[in-house]
Amino acid sequence: MKARPNTAISQTAAYRATITDPMRDFDIICIGEPLIEFNQINGTEWHQGFGGDVSNVAIAAARLGARSAIATRLGDDGFGQELRNLWTREGVDASYVATDASAPTGLYFVRHELNGHRFEYRRAGSAASRMTADTLPVEAILSAQFTHVSGITLAISASARDAGLEAMRIAGAAGRQVSFDPNLRLALWPLEEARYEITQALGLADIALPGLDDARQITGLDAPEDIVRAFHEMGPEVVALTLGEEGALLGHAGTITHIPGVPVPAVDATGAGDCFDGAFLTRLSKGDAPEAACRYAVAASALSVQGYGAVGPLPTVADMSAG
């Protein structure tokens, strides 16, 4: 494990006063923004579901047997309550989810077009964007094997960015594993700013989980092998670069290994990368080597693209056993 700065631990005492729940042991805690999803089925028909990358990761992990938790803020509205109900059903610990009476829960829409799917967001000023570093659930972070943060967490506001980076520092300084998915959304911030902040985050991460299109924009490189090497140079010891239907490229311990994709009749790729992240981290938390975890995650993400929406098609342990 790489050496970590010790700055975060000195700040945890100030945070402990905000924690009222008894400490729980988690495999994975995810920090960021959950969203309500409206997914276009055909023409003017829309299906309401759930999304938000870190929420998807937490649910994917829980369905595959991990003890997962989410830390965020929700609006004091019906959509926020629906998300709480979802996490209860899915077995995701939501003890560290705050309610903000003065800000709404965020929404997004998925339109399916000939050249792929297009996202539209109604998330400006969302409750999650009001997350702050001084309200992080430090005890939960310290008790989790993995703390997972995404580039969207960093992009939605300056205070959420501070919270995400501080969570990574706290986990790293305590010797816990930190995972980061860049999840680049240029509608949220300009490319140069995104590159700078994502590079800072990668310097705090043990595991990087980029998608190929995002990684090409972040690094300016084209060849997947070169991208994996570039991500290693920014800090992470493990890099799992997802390649869509081509599978993933895993960089670890000085080697780069291609994990082939699983051919499936794909319907909707929304959330497939989040499914990969949750499955990969779950298997690492169970003691799998990175290559075995990556093969499992590729298979899980293949199952997830065979239905509509980010959450509904996420596979369970039984689904994985059935193949």
- What is the DSSP secondary-structure string of 81-112? HHHHHHHHHHT-EEEEEEEETTSPPPEEEEEE
Q: How far apart are CA 261 and CA 197, in angstroms?
A: 31
Q: How far apart are CA 233 and CA 254, in angstroms?
A: 12
CB atoms within 10 A of CB 310: 28
Active-site residue, selected from the candidate residues 274, 277, 288, 319: 274
Q: How far apart are CA 313 and CA 301, in angstroms?
A: 9
Q: How far apart are CA 281 and CA 203, in angstroms?
A: 19
CB atoms within 10 A of CB 79: 18
Q: How far apart are CA 216 and CA 234, in angstroms?
A: 15
Catalytic-residue membership of 274: yes
**266 and 253 Cβ atoms separated by less than 8 Å:** no
What would the two tokens of residue 243 be?
């390649």
Beta bridge mates, 208: 180, 239
Q: How far apart are CA 272 and CA 311, in angstroms?
A: 10
Q: How far apart are CA 36 and CA 312, in angstroms?
A: 13
Q: How far apart are CA 187 and CA 153, in angstroms?
A: 14
Catalytic residues, by residue number, are: 274
